[in-house]
């Protein structure tokens, strides 16, 4: 006799299958009925778990939308300052005698253009130094103090 109730296939471990099979024989019920009854008992906790998972997914979606909106607002707030900074940079470069053509040529060649116009005059760039003192030589052991704090 056909049924209107939905059906699913369930894959079990061999041990679990044997337990369900033994329970079905001992109770005189079908294996399908045994599994269905166990799922019916678990329906309440499963429904609560589904609600929690659905709320978590909705919260994640809302959080992503809030982050997206915050980034959009930050971009709108920062854009005028960025444009102003670019204008100031253009004025500085113009004052230093560096034009757009020279910047484009330097970027194509992978060179930087010094803001004081040294590259334009063919002078080497100003060396950049960082830190103080002499560098530590490799392989030279460091002296330890014998005093204890």
**Number of domains, the chain:** 1
Contacts of 30 (CB under 8 A, 6+ apart): 24
84 assigned to some structural domain: no
Does 51 map to a domain? no
Paired tokens of 20: 């369900």
| Assigned domain for 60 exists | no
Is residue 96 within 8 Å of 115, Cβ to Cβ? yes
Would you say residue 123 lies in a domain?
no
* Buried/exposed code over 66-84 (b: 16+ C-beta within 10 A; e: otherwise): eeeeeeeeeeeeeeeeeee
**Residue 1 in domain:** no
Looking at the chain, how many residues does it have?
149
Q: Is residue 16 part of a domain?
A: yes
Q: How far apart are CA 48 and CA 54, in angstroms?
A: 10
Asked, for residue 34, whether it belongs to a domain, the answer is yes
53 vs 145, higher pLDDT? 53
Does 78 map to a domain?
Answer: no
Tens digits of residue pLDDT in 29-74? 999 999 999 999 999 999 999 999 999 888 888 888 888 889 888 8
Rounded to two decimals, the pTM is: 0.41
Residue 31: which domain range? 10-41
Indicate the pLDDT class of residue 95, thresholds 50, 70 and 90.
Answer: confident
């Amino acid at each position: 006799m056909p049924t209107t109730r939905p059906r699913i296939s369930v894959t079990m471990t061999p041990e679990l299958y044997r337990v369900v099979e033994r329970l079905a024989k001992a109770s005189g019920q079908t294996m399908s009925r045994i599994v269905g009854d166990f799922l019916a008992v678990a329906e309440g906790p499963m429904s609560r778990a589904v609600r929690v998972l659905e709320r978590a997914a909705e919260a994640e979606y809302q959080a992503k939308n809030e982050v997206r909106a915050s980034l959009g607002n930050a971009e709108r707030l920062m854009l005028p300052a960025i444009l102003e900074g670019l204008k100031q940079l253009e004025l500085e470069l113009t004052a230093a005698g560096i034009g757009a053509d020279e910047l484009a040529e330097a970027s194509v060649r992978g060179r930087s253009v010094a803001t004081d116009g040294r590259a334009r005059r063919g002078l080497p760039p100003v060396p950049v130094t960082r830190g103080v003192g002499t560098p530590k030589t490799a392989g030279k052991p460091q002296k330890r103090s014998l005093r204890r704090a």
